[in-house]
Amino acid sequence: MNTKLKIVFLHIPKTAGQSVHAYLSRFATSEEICPARVNHMLYGMSISELDNYKLISGHLDWSLLDCISQNAFIFTVLRQPVDRILSFYFYLRKKASEMDAASLELPSNAGMKAALKMPCDEYFASGPSKLRKFIDDHYDNFYMYYFAGRTYDARGKLHSTEEFSTKGYDWCLQNAISNLSKLNGVYDVSQLDALQKDIESRFEPVKLGKPLVTTRVNVGDEHSSQDRLLALEKIGATKITFDRIEAMTRWDNLLFDHIFKSRPQTL
């Protein structure tokens, strides 16, 4: 086994992940950076091949990286749950608005098209089943399900278990808390200076670059959650949407509060 200490970043969408990845790339050569940024790119890699990389970063199932877990600094970055959902939604709308009509109709862009074209209440609270699964998998208490089940599709898997049917959400939340405690680091997006300190105390950079707190990659419009909630109202959202967002962040707020000892965010 390669004994060199590795960096593994479990990147959750809309948590400053592109900026974090750009910063982390300073600590590895191009050959040492795993090209897999999403799950399907990992499937063709052998354990020995994966073990040769120094930096692994992306929207990846944590469970797929167990083979190197004893030889890595594994961490994640979180963001206030409501803010993450609203940022994700408006990001999809922005990306969709920049596409030409033909691209927007591609099946791979159905989620972005729905964010742009579908009424808010339908998008967040109803809609066709295939779209509903996409939205629930990416929005609905994602932190809790991801860290409890350690995969991106954990929500559906956990709901089908006997444990969930008998013990419910509290059981799922406690599993997430337990698993998060096994990471080497969990940071709020406001704590990137602490992440930088932890990385630089363990790894030597191989190239120069900006400090993490000033690294800005793929940053969207910077608005507060309140601004985005008002923006939702302006495009037609009603109590149906706001109630659904509150439900989709209930357990993530509890998890976030447990990790960072802050007051849970409410609508």
**What integer pLDDT is reported at residue 69 of this predicted model?**
77
What is the per-residue burial (b if ≥16 Cβ within 10 Å, else e) of 10-24?
A: bbbbbbbbbbbbbbb
pLDDT tier at 2, thresholds 50, 70, 90: low
**What integer pLDDT is reported at residue 221 of this predicted model?**
57
Contact 86, 36 (CB under 8 A): no
pTM above 0.85, yes or no: yes
Residues of the chain with CATH 3.40.50: 6-79+183-214
**What integer pLDDT is reported at residue 266 of this predicted model?**
43
Position with higher pLDDT, 3 vs 140: 140
What does the alpha-carbon distance between residue 255 and residue 249 come to, in Å, rounded to a whole number? 10
Where does 6-79+183-214 sit in CATH, by number? 3.40.50
166-171 long-range contacts, CB within 8 A, separation 24+: 169/144, 169/251
What does the alpha-carbon distance between residue 126 and residue 226 come to, in Å, rounded to a whole number? 24
**What integer pLDDT is reported at residue 3 of this predicted model?**
63
For the stretch 108-163, pLDDT in tens is: 999 999 999 999 999 999 988 888 888 899 999 999 999 999 999 999 999 999 99
What does the alpha-carbon distance between residue 258 and residue 264 come to, in Å, rounded to a whole number? 9
For the stretch 16-56, pLDDT in tens is: 999 999 999 999 999 999 999 999 999 889 998 999 999 99
Which of 1-5, 113-117, 141-145, 252-256 is the least confident region? Answer: 1-5
- Given a cut of 90, whether residue 71 has pLDDT beyond it is no
**What integer pLDDT is reported at residue 107 of this predicted model?**
92
Contact 115, 92 (CB under 8 A): yes
**What integer pLDDT is reported at residue 264 of this predicted model?**
44
- Given a cut of 90, whether residue 262 has pLDDT beyond it is no
For the stretch 189-210, pLDDT in tens is: 999 999 999 999 999 999 988 8
**What integer pLDDT is reported at residue 220 of this predicted model?**
57
Which of 33-37, 91-95, 209-213 is the least confident region? Answer: 209-213
- Given a cut of 90, whether residue 223 has pLDDT beyond it is no
Look up residue 103 and give its amino acid: S
